[in-house]
Structure 1
Amino acid sequence: MKILVTGSEGFIGKNLMAELRNRKYDCIYEYCRETDSTLLDDYCKEADFVFHLAGVNRPKDQSEFMDGNYGFTSELLEMLKKHENNCPVMISSSIQAELDNPYGISKKAGEDLLLNYSNETGAKTLIYRFPNVFGKWCKPNYNSAVATFCHNIAHGLPLTVNDPSVVMNLVYIDDVAEELINALNGKENRVEEFCEVPDVHTITLGEIVHLIHSFRNSREERSIPNLNDSFTKKLYSTYLSYLPEDQFSYDLKMNEDYRGSFTEFIKTPDRGQVSINISKPGITKGNHWHHTKNEKFLVVSGKGVIRFRKINTDKVIEYYVSGDKMEVVDIPTGYTHNIENLGDTDMVTVMWANELFDPEKPDTYYLEV
């Protein structure tokens, strides 16, 4: 299949192109402002499907709205007609096409042009009135509030939010790309004369800013947001793509003593926490038990033994562990337990606990195994 993508260097275009290539579509005609304009004629002759994503939304002069959103669409459709190419055409419009402003008027004019083209030629047309689109590779301080918020908060820059109660409807770029590829295969999500991305997220500006600030703070808190929420998961992925290139990493607090160290790595509101324990040779750690707190131990380097004894009994159970074999050991409640380094190098253990540590209620009781 030969696919023409106009606006291939734009936000949606870049993401769509990347996913098309991921899915092994290898005959793609890319067209953007830098492309030799004479190539468009050949592309329109050969294309089996057109993604018309090119448009103008931040011109220097308002007259450019009609030139870019109506004029270029007209040029594209005339070339298709010249070659009697009635392949399907998808156009990227906007919810602002319903509004009486220069941008909305130009988008509505492009829609009408496409509808007339369909009536005249019989070609299948797909009009997507996108709400706000967010995700990686969107230009900040341009036309996306989410991109600006993510960029400014990630870079420690000030934000201006005039009305945090403003409600936004947003679609995520990966969902957009998924829907467009579905449309390519004749499986578009159509509602009457328009098509749409089915997963729309509704949230206020204030809530978005609060979430992004929590992402920034999560490094100091060693936390991960609740990724069970679809929007939070997508926004967190978006935020990370705006981190400064020299700030991908961050330090953790190592609690060190003569026995080794214990470092909290990740805390989650609903899945407990993960920590890294380093034990020096010959060192035994633990010798305590829990009522409700339970843990999983995974030795990833070195070798040792994990011992258990059910409280009020004498039987000691031993599990020998090593970084040479990835083996998870559950730490049941009601068993006092310890872990001893039997090697001559540091033993590194990944430890998961089902709840965050609460110094007011640690649920940890000292008792020798």
Structure 2
Amino acid sequence: MKKILITGTAGFIGSNLASKLVNKGYDVLGIDNINDYYSPQLKKDRIKFLLGENFRNYQVDLQNKKDVQSIFNQEQPEIVINLAAQAGVRYSLENPDVYIDSNINGFLNILEGCRSVNCEHLIYASSSSVYGSNKNLPFKTSDNVDHPISLYAATKKSNELMAHTYSHLFNIPTTGLRFFTVYGPWGRPDMALFKFTESILNHKPIDVYNNGNMMRDFTYVDDIVEAISRLIEKAPHKQNPNRTFAPNESHAPYKIYNIGNNAPVKLESFIDAIENATGIKAIKNYMELQPGDVPQTYADVSDLFETIDFKPNTTIQSGVNRFVEWYMEYFKSDLKKAKHNEK
């Protein structure tokens, strides 16, 4: 089996993906700096059960070019999956420098590493946020995405442009994945499902932005990692340079896909699912749309389905139930006590 390097292995998607690929028999190595953007302990717990013969993890910062290149030289990975990034739309308004350091400079070091070992396929995380102020729904990868409305989105758009350049100049097959609101067990504490569940169980108000009129194409993490695992052997190829290409493809070995549930859900319905899973009614604090946020996301995944014969299909209630079960187990919460306190 091929050797696969995953960056961001202590992250939400990265840890789930590493687990799946280890179970499939791949030789998996990881890079994660385990920073303190949120609980380092949660990150360590995500990967502690993975460490073993087919998985090893380097605690290295992608901004450290020397250390990153040393790993590439030593390990010679055939496949690279870059999931490491500074996440969060709202946080990018407060700490813009971190996004340039991590998402731009760090990604450049990954591209250089791939170049040095003649990587067979680089898969990297982009984001649905690149669609910015686009109005046409569902969002299609063939759409123009030149109007980001947050620095986070701008860095992800930059990643797509950087990847294309390396695909063209050095013939590195690259596949960019625009994730749409991933959720599930081991999720990030800064995301809505985690924050809502925590507050609802503790009978605290939840902030509901855009006065509840938000819609998101929530995508369950198992569906995400299944799609990525199928894409590993689907590296793009060079195309006839005389063709006219849409923004998601090129004469170079380059491709962009959406990964979403293809079924946007109202934020109020998402909260209903959490209430159903916990048996507790939420206390809602309605707020205006936040800077950098978009009111609705909706993924067209038709080209992804054609490529890998799979599209996300986990229902919201099923996915939320699994998250709440994990949350209760991980934090040893007493649901009966929470319900009793409600009374």
Which bracket does the TM-score occupy, shorter chain normalised? Answer: 0.5 to 0.7
Partner of 1:66: 100
Partner of 1:242: 327
Partner of 1:177: 225
TM-score normalized by the length of structure 2: 0.63
- CA deviation vs aligned residue, 1:58-91 (integer Å, no higher than 9, x gap): 46621221211111111111122234x1320011
Q: 2:266 aligns with which of 204, 213, 229?
A: 204
Q: 1:106 aligns with which of 155, 163, 166?
A: 155
Q: 2:201 aligns with which of 145, 151, 154?
A: 154
SS at match of 1:51: strand
Q: CA deviation at 1:120?
A: 1.0
Q: CA deviation at 1:151?
A: 2.5
| Distance in 2 of aligned mates of 1:152 and 1:56 | 25
| Distance in 2 of aligned mates of 1:248 and 1:118 | 52
2:58 corresponds to 1:10: no
Q: CA deviation at 1:237?
A: 1.0
Partner of 1:223: none
SS at match of 1:67: helix
Q: Which runs of 5+ in 2 are unaligned?
A: 35-58, 132-147, 237-247, 250-254, 281-312, 338-343
Q: Is the 8 A contact 2:184 2:320 kept in 1?
A: yes
| Distance in 2 of aligned mates of 1:16 and 1:151 | 25
| Distance in 2 of aligned mates of 1:195 and 1:110 | 14
Distance 1:158 1:182, change over 3 A: same
- CA deviation vs aligned residue, 1:259-306 (integer Å, no higher than 9, x gap): xxxxxxxxxxxxxxxxxxxxxxxxxxxxxxxxxxxxxxxxxxxxxxxx
Distance 1:203 1:28, change over 3 A: same
2:88 corresponds to 1:87: no
Higher normalized strand content (fraction of residues): 1
- CA deviation vs aligned residue, 1:298-335 (integer Å, no higher than 9, x gap): xxxxxxxxxxxxxxxxxxxxxxxxxxxxxxxxxxxxxx
Write the letter of the residue equivalent to 1:182.
R
Q: CA deviation at 1:185?
A: 2.8
Partner of 1:32: 32
Partner of 2:164: 115
| Distance in 2 of aligned mates of 1:30 and 1:56 | 17
SS at match of 1:160: strand
Q: 1:186 aligns with which of 234, 237, 247?
A: 234
Q: Is the 8 A contact 2:126 2:179 kept in 1?
A: yes
2:42 corresponds to 1:41: no
Partner of 1:321: none
| Distance in 2 of aligned mates of 1:9 and 1:109 | 24
Distance 1:2 1:39, change over 3 A: farther
Distance 1:20 1:154, change over 3 A: farther
Distance 1:185 1:20, change over 3 A: same
- What is the RMSD of the two structures over their aligned residues, measured on CA atoms? 2.6
Q: How does 1:1-369 map to 2 (within 5 A)?
A: 1-25=2-26, 27-34=27-34, 35-36=59-60, 39-45=67-73, 46-57=76-87, 58=91, 61-83=95-117, 85-98=118-131, 99-140=148-189, 142=190, 144-162=191-209, 163-186=211-234, 192=249, 193-197=255-259, 199-217=261-279, 230-243=315-328, 245-247=331-333, 250=336
| Distance in 2 of aligned mates of 1:187 and 1:41 | 23
Q: CA deviation at 1:39?
A: 4.8
Distance 1:53 1:229, change over 3 A: closer
| Distance in 2 of aligned mates of 1:237 and 1:28 | 26
| Structure with greater Cα Rg | 1
SS at match of 2:9: coil
Partner of 1:260: none
Out of 51-60 and 175-184, give the one that drifted further: 51-60
| Distance in 1 of aligned mates of 2:23 and 2:199 | 31
Distance 1:201 1:239, change over 3 A: farther
Q: Is the 8 A contact 2:217 2:261 kept in 1?
A: no
SS at match of 2:231: helix
TM-score normalized by the length of structure 1: 0.59
Partner of 2:144: none
SS at match of 1:201: coil
Q: Is the 8 A contact 1:94 1:131 kept in 2?
A: yes
Q: Is the 8 A contact 1:127 1:195 kept in 2?
A: yes
Distance 1:211 1:248, change over 3 A: same
| Distance in 2 of aligned mates of 1:64 and 1:122 | 30
Greater relative contact order structure (CA < 8 Å, 6+ sep): 2
Write the letter of the residue equivalent to 1:183.
L
Q: Is the 8 A contact 1:53 1:91 kept in 2?
A: yes
